[in-house]
């Protein structure tokens, strides 16, 4: 395959490859392999089947209300959450989701991001009414059911049992 790259991108990739001590070809292959799922996973069926499982699990988390979820034509997906800021476990939930979804460890990092989202605060109001949270994959074709399993395996169990959550520091 011949591929024409814009000059700035080509130069940036060459510099990255040089700094990494490998050829441009090897560098581009490594980058692509890190974000491209295996061929058997390249199907929208994975997202269609998995997204309801992730939504169902998140709906059981204390203080969480799933507002919406959807997928894009290029096989990304997202789940938008509301967090009850008056719930005694609200910040524990943020901490747990942030840990698992954003940064378990260097060796076991999930391809997801958990982050707050908001319309312009100066046009609306405070966080109780307008702060939401989004979970989305960093690459396309990521199975949402796999993300649900990762959360279920690391969050308190059963997740809806308030007694299982550590709330000693409140």
pLDDT of residue 168: 60
- Nearest C-alpha neighbor of 156 from the set 70, 88, 61: 61
CB 132 within 8 A of CB 115: no
**DSSP type of residue 49:** H
Domain ranges of the chain: 7-36, 41-156
- CATH 3.90.1150 correct for 41-156: yes
The pLDDT value given to residue 130: 86
Host H or E run for residue 90: helix 90-102
pLDDT tens for 56-65 read: 999 999 999 9
Beta bridge partners of 112: 137
Residue 60: phi and psi, rounded to 5, are -90, -10
Q: State the Cα–Cα distance between residues 3 and 158, nearest whole angstrom.
A: 50
pLDDT at 122: 81
Q: What is the model's pLDDT at position 169?
A: 54
Sorted by sequence, the CB contacts under 8 Å of residue 133 that are 6+ apart come out as 80, 81, 82, 83, 94, 97, 114, 115, 116, 117
Ranges of the chain whose pLDDT falls below 50: 170
- Residue entry with tokens 């059963």: 158
């Amino acid at each position: 395959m011949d591929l024409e790259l814009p000059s700035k991108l080509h130069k940036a990739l060459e510099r990255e490859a040089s700094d990494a001590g490998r050829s441009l070809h090897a560098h581009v292959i490594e980058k692509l392999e890190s974000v491209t799922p295996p061929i058997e996973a390249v199907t929208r069926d994975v997202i269609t089947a998995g997204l309801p499982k992730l939504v169902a699990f998140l709906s059981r988390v204390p203080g969480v209300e799933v507002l919406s979820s959807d997928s894009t034509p290029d096989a990304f997906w997202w789940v938008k959450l509301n967090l009850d800021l008056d719930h005694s476990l609200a910040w524990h939930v943020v901490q747990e989701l942030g840990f698992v979804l954003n940064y378990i460890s260097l060796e076991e990092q999930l391809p997801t991001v958990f982050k707050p989202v908001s319309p312009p605060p100066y046009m609306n109001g405070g966080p109780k009414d307008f702060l939401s949270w989004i979970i989305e994959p960093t690459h396309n074709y990521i199975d949402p059911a796999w993300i649900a399993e990762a959360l279920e395996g690391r969050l308190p169990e059963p997740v809806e049992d308030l007694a299982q959550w550590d709330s000693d520091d409140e």
